[in-house]
Amino acid sequence: MQLTLNLKQKLEQTANEYFEKAKKSRKKAETARGIVLKFKKQIEDLDRKQLVELKKAEVKQKRPQEWYEKFRWFISSEGFLCVGGRDATSNEVVIKKHTDAKDIVFHTEAPGSPFFVIKTEGKKPTDVTFQEAADATASFSKAWKLGVSMTEAYSVTPQQVSKQAPSGEYMPKGGFMISGKRTYYQGTVKIAVGKLTDGKVMSGPETAVKTHCKEYSILMQGRDKPSDCAKKISKKIGADIDEVLRSLPGGTCQVK
């Protein structure tokens, strides 16, 4: 560093001037150092956040998807898996590919209803599971859009469900002929949505959801958009909003 001395002023004055310049330079250096440290921390925080998001994405991608997650589904209070169609095509698949001889099939008299199947695995469910299956069948039927609070659902055996149409009639996709005796239930149109310990979002009757989910929300018929309801539920139960939205009935709703 070069020093320029002014021979016309005292040495002490020159020294003070250089001392003040040094103080200002030190302040600028400290300010610059502070700015650098601030940006460094922001970059580290951003990198940490991105890493967390990447890990979350990896976890989400790695979670194995069960076959029944393509459909409507819930686990009854007694532990029985209940699976239902989302539309005519999935109704067809549920009955043709995923219904065994000892399962129980649920439907409603009104068109636009899912076929729900209780997967018994050879065990005998009680009226608790039967009623929950009836409630789910009613809730995911067109009764939700119509604003009906209750609707009748019935149960039959798989042997009573057939694609064989009466002579001269055509059986559309998702439609089946039901023969023999039916057992009727009053289905309540209301569901709950919760998250299982393994991360799956489950929607179904409140009694079933609260048995298996620590956090859950009650969903009823209303005037709110499904997307708005999904946001509220997602925030409460800590689940992916798209999974929550997919689990809701068709039509407007409200979170209780």
Rounded to whole angstroms, the Cα distance separating 108 from 110 reads: 5
Q: Are 229 and 203 in contact (CB under 8 A)?
A: no
Task: Write out pLDDT tens, residues 69-94.
Answer: 999 999 999 999 999 999 999 999 99
pLDDT attached to residue 109: 87
Starting at the edge strand found earlier in the chain, the sheet holding 150-156 runs 72-75, 81-84, 116-119, 104-108, 150-156, 183-188
CA 29/CA 26 separation, integer angstroms: 5
Report pLDDT digits (tens) over 167-211. 767 777 777 889 999 999 999 999 999 999 999 999 999 999 999
Q: What pLDDT, on the 0 to 100 scale, is given for residue 177? A: 84
| 155, 183 contact by CB (below 8 A) | yes
Does residue 254 have a pLDDT over 80?
A: yes
Nearest to 203 by CA among 187, 189, 222, 218: 218
The answer on pLDDT for 23 being more than 60 is: yes
Specify whether the CB–CB gap between 109 and 132 falls below 8 A.
no
Q: By C-alpha distance, which of 141, 150, 101, 136 is closest to 209?
A: 136
Between 15 and 154, the more confident residue is 154
Q: What is the DSSP string of 112-129?
A: S---EEEE-TT----HHH
pLDDT at 7 exceeding the cut of 60:
no
Domain boundaries, the chain: 66-189, 190-256
